[in-house]
Structures are given as C-alpha cells and as structure tokens.
Amino acid sequence: MVALPKLNRPCTERERERERERERALRRAPTHPRLRRPPPISNQNSKSISFGSQSPNPSKKKKKKKEGIVELFSSSMSSSGSSNVRPPAQDAWLQAYKSLLPQWQSISHSHQSIIPISISRVNQFDAGRLDIEMSAMLKEQLVKVFSLMKPGMLFQYEAELDAFLEFLIWRFSIWVDKPTPGIALMNLRYRDERAVESRGKVRTGLEGPGLTVAQKLWYCVATVGGQYIWARVQSFSAFRRWGDSEQRSVARGAWILIQRIEGLYKAASFGNLLLFLYTGRYRNLIERVLRARLVYGSPNMNRAVSFEYMNRQLVWNEFSEMLLLLLPLLNSSSMKKLLSPFSKDKSSSSKEDDLTCPICQSSPTVPFLALPCEHRYCYYCLRTRCAAVPAFRCSRCNEPVVAMQRHVSEPKQ
C-alpha cells in the first residue's frame, strides 16, 4: 500500500493569528472585481487529491492563493493612496473652467434676464408734456419772425411749420443718440428692448444699447410724417366737406373711412394707456411697435426741483378761481349800502347822486324812474336789469322795483 502524504497544517498560534488578520482584511476590502473575495473551495475539489509523488501539497496551494490576494489588495491600496497624494496637472483648472463656463453663463443670463425694472410713470408723462411745451415755445418764437407778413398767410402752412419743428427736435436729439429736451430733464433715455431681451445682460436695469438706425427712421416717419399727413387729410376733408350728405358716394365713403380709422386709433391708444399704467412700459403706440422703452439715463441723479414758484402759482390759481365763483353771487348795491357808513367821502350831495344812473354811473340820456322809490336810471340799464332779474331791487334804496316810468323834467321859470 502507498502511504498517504501528511498534510501541512498551521500548528502554531502565530500562523493562526496571521490567517485571521488576512480574513479581516479581505472582508474590509472594496468590491472591486480584481479584489473580490474568491469563492470558497467546493468539497469535490477539496476531496480530489492526487497520490502521485509530483502532486502539489493542497495546503501550500491554498496558502499561496491567499497570500497573492492579500498582496494584490495591499498593492491596490498603496496605489490609491499614492494617487490621492499626487497633485493635479497644471492645466486641469483651465480645462474644468472651459467645461463649466457655458453652464455658468446660461445660469447667470437666466437669472439676470428676469430682474424687474420699474420706471416712474409720472416721469414718462412729464417728459412728453415738456416736449410739447418746448415745441410750442419754438413755434411761438418762429411765428414772431413772420409777424410782418400778410395776415393769414402763415395759417395756411401751419401743418408744415409744426412738422418742421418736430423734425428739428428729432434731428438734434434722437438721431444723434441723445434724448429730447423733456426726456433729458426727467433723466430718461430710449433703449432698444429687443437687443436687451436677446442678450440678457441686465444687472441694474439701465444696460442696453440705444435705438438702431431703422428704429430712428421709423420713429421720424411715424411722429413727423404721420402727424403731418393726418393733419393735412383732416383739413382737406373738412374744407371739401366730404362729410355732407350732398357729396358724392366716393367722398362720403372716404369721410367714413377717415372717421373709422380715427376711432380705431383712439381705441388702440386707450388700450395702450391701460397697459402702460399697469406695466409702466411704452407710453404710446409708436414706442410699443418699435420696442423703444424709456429707462433712466443715470442711476444716481437727484431731481433739483424748486417748489417756491409752484406754490405761488397754485395759491394764485386757487384765489382767482375763488373770486370767479364768489363775485357773481354778491349784490353790488347791498355791498355798497353795507359799506356806506364806513365811507370817508361824505361831501357829495344827494342831488348829484340823483342826477347819475347808479348802474352805469353816467348822466342818463333817456331818464326813467323806478317805481315806487322814483330813483332815476337810464332806460337801457333799468330795462335790462328788470328783464334779467324779475325781483330786481333799486341800487340806491334796495327796494323792489315794481314798474318803470319816464321822467319828465320840470320847466324852468
């Protein structure tokens, strides 16, 4: 019989402790495909032992396999540790910046494009009103130049004069990328809203380019040419009496068409006004069509307004309106009678007072007497007062006048 070889088993405590540490290291190792724990050896493999002299020892084979796994795990751990300590390449930050730049720009633009911008509606309306006043002042000065010409001659060319003044204001303000006088006083300027929406670079609400050449030309055509053509059409149709029913059907139809266009324009302007009051953008239809928005020209500009002149003007206007309301309600005769005891001029005789009419303060050419007090008046003064006021009272004695009689002078002896 062939003697079986003896299996070499770890007998010492030191070897057993080493095997336990290897098992613990294998359990803690990451689940990498190369570092996974090998499957356990089946019973068949463990029982299949060759009896030849050249067959390897199974205990040594198992031991070598475990040692190779532990060495592989330790080498991988050392390589990972060395890779963490190794510094990155010199251009690594540049590559990372280039890869993240498009995303960062898209995020920043999306946040900047939704910043709300609020422009004062009162300033925009005041700018339009100041422009109208400025053109009126220029027109007044220009009319004085032609004051020596034939009267009525300048009236025929009033539409051309207005168009010429509007063209001058447009040429030296908007065409050269400058605001109009009223817009400049309100610290505003025109901005192309289409370019701002396409770029999305909005930080404070004041960025953005001015109007393009096409927008400037269309603005001139709409404000200068449109107003001139519409004024001429209206004056020509009124002069030709297109609205009369006796005119031909073509003229009558043209008049109806003009009225409908005017009604549609007024309705659209009213709708645009409501939108402007709600959103604060585009005060008229021309600005809305051209997408020309008024924004602040400078973010840090204080309005230096002197309210002294404004206060004086308001006080004077209120005082004049109060006088216009109260003076017709006061009776002059009653006021005179009330103030007569306080009068200083008492030297005038009653005879001189009777010779003059108390209404016009002149000697009556056709004297009439007011009955029953018999005070003398002018016929025209007494007749008009009695016709205007049924319960007219005498201006001298404040008695009601019932009738009037012609005054007959006594003959001289």
pLDDT at residue 297 in the model: 85
pLDDT at residue 146 in the model: 79
Q: Give tens-digit pLDDT for 25-80.
A: 777 655 544 445 555 544 444 444 443 444 445 555 555 555 655 555 555 555 54
DSSP code of residue 362: S
Across the range 400-409, mean pLDDT stands at: 78
DSSP code of residue 57: P
pLDDT at residue 340 is higher than 70: no
Strand order, beta sheet including 403-406: 375-378, 367-371, 403-406
Which of 99-108, 132-141, 149-158, 329-338 shows the highest mean pLDDT?
Answer: 132-141
Q: How far is the C-alpha of 180 from the C-alpha of 189, rounded, in Å? A: 8
Which of 33-47, 273-287, 307-321 shows the highest mean pLDDT?
Answer: 273-287
Task: Of 89-93, 181-185, 364-368, give the lowest mean pLDDT range.
Answer: 89-93
Q: Give tens-digit pLDDT for 161-172.
A: 899 999 999 999
pLDDT at residue 44 in the model: 45
pLDDT at residue 83 in the model: 45
Closest CA to 121 of 275, 285, 283: 283
Compute the mean pLDDT over every residue in the chain, rounded to the nearest whole number.
Answer: 75
CA distances from 413 to 22, 406, 410 (A): 166, 22, 9
Q: Is 140 exposed, middle or buried (0-12, 13-18, 19+ CB in 10 A)?
A: exposed
Q: How far is the C-alpha of 304 from the C-alpha of 273, rounded, in Å? A: 29
pLDDT at residue 116 in the model: 66
